[in-house]
Structure 1
């Protein structure tokens, strides 16, 4: 059985789960989970893009909800070892929604292989999930543009890029490559009834094939000389 975080991220339209997330969001609210994200774009031999390393920090209320009962030694702290199983399970279960990640290099959308290096860590009252998402086939960027988008098509999960300096990192990129962060122009509705016609039923009908969430997509654009 999928764990709470897997059910929430990998099954965003489950009404029963939405009710169970009362700790994370008010009833009849959408989205239900808030994530502050960072991304590292990795390059390998020949300047080829090889993968994306994500770091997603969940809101404090949801972090408390999803980690209930995981303090195995009862010391009042959650160690990476205690969170290891949850990290691995949930990273795997995100495959159904393509890890909420879209990468285009030179205008061509890329496919991802199985994620590796899943890890979770508590920092104060927030939980961070990190993992490496490799490309199935590394691709040379050349003078083209690499465009990374992180968003939930159904808007069950709200992603926003961190304001930290290391939000968009390039590792091993050819000399002169630079990353630019682009944030969504659309104002994110805080509740399902923020606009006429936007009931919870409207959101529950959205699927991974929907395009509603793209208006809230965060983008990292990489240009190389």
Structure 2
């Protein structure tokens, strides 16, 4: 079922999960991701790309990996997940990679992602990939501002609580990060936070969420931000 394995095909995925049928959908996200990010620098202090690491909730991880254990040993290797990683990473272009980056006040455009990889850790699946910047730009004394979110709020992103949630690779000396997590209290594991999300916006019906399209920007209010300032 190749289409069922496409994380970015959000409407199709909702149907496949049985969450978008009448009477079953809830007014909250349907996929939860805990994110980490690296901001990569090159010569001259130029920002060259973003390396993402996105860990999916256990329910989605179980769904999307059905039938991928080729040798039937009960374990999923990076080799068995390679096709899924490549397909999903490629399809992210339709959604702008859920990533916005400004360097010194200018919006950056991304090249096609490279180095896609997936790995299972316990019951959760992590997708990682490098998102190169087209025409790397020098940050200078300006700020690099990275935002990660789904404009339609079908996918709820939250930044990891780990110490390495925002790393700088080959950055100029003295650069430092500031992390601002989404103001939503939606939990990365789903259900408890889902109820809270609905409660924070009284009066929002399922019809409201069904009306959201990929052009919507409702999810911007739940954006996670990483700021990099250099002296």
2:30 matched to 1:28?
A: no
Q: Which residue does the alignment assign to 2:189?
A: none
Report deviation, 1:99.
0.3
Match of 2:211 in 1: 205
Report deviation, 1:89: 0.5
Q: What is the root-mean-square deviation of aligned Cα atoms in Å?
A: 1.9
Structure 2 unpaired stretches of 5+: 187-192
CA distance in 1, matches of 2:2, 2:101: 27
**For the residues of structure 2 that align with 1:193 and 1:37, how far apart are their CA atoms?**
22
Q: What's the counterpart of residue 220 of structure 2? A: 214
1:198, 1:17 → 2: CA distance? 22
Compute the TM-score of the two structures, normalised by the length of structure 2.
Answer: 0.89
Residues 1:2 and 1:207: Cα distance change in structure 2 (over 3 Å) = farther
Segments of 4+ moved more than 6 angstroms: none
Measure the CA separation in 2 of the matches of 1:182 and 1:20: 33
What's the TM-score, normalizing by structure 1? Answer: 0.91
- Matching of residue 4 in structure 1 with residue 1 in structure 2: no
Per the TM alignment, residue 204 of structure 1 is displaced from its structure 2 partner at its CA by 2.2
Aligned residue number for residue 190 of structure 2: none
CA contact (8 A) 2:110 2:131 kept: yes
Partner of 1:18: 14
2:68 equivalent in structure 1: 70
Aligned to 1:124: 122
Deviation at residue 205 of structure 1 after TM alignment: 1.7
Which of residues 76, 79, 85 in structure 1 aligns to 2:77?
79
Are the structure 2 counterparts of residues 200 and 5 from structure 1 closer, same or farther at C-alpha, using a change threshold of 3 Å? farther
The answer to whether the 8 A contact 2:5-2:65 is kept is no
Q: Which residue of 1 aligns with 2:138?
A: 140
Contact 1:193–1:199 (CA under 8 A) maintained in structure 2: no
Tell me: CA distance 1:216–1:122, structure 2 relative to 1, closer, same or farther (3 Å): same
CA deviation profile, 1:88-107 (whole Å, cap 9, x unmatched): 00100010111000000111
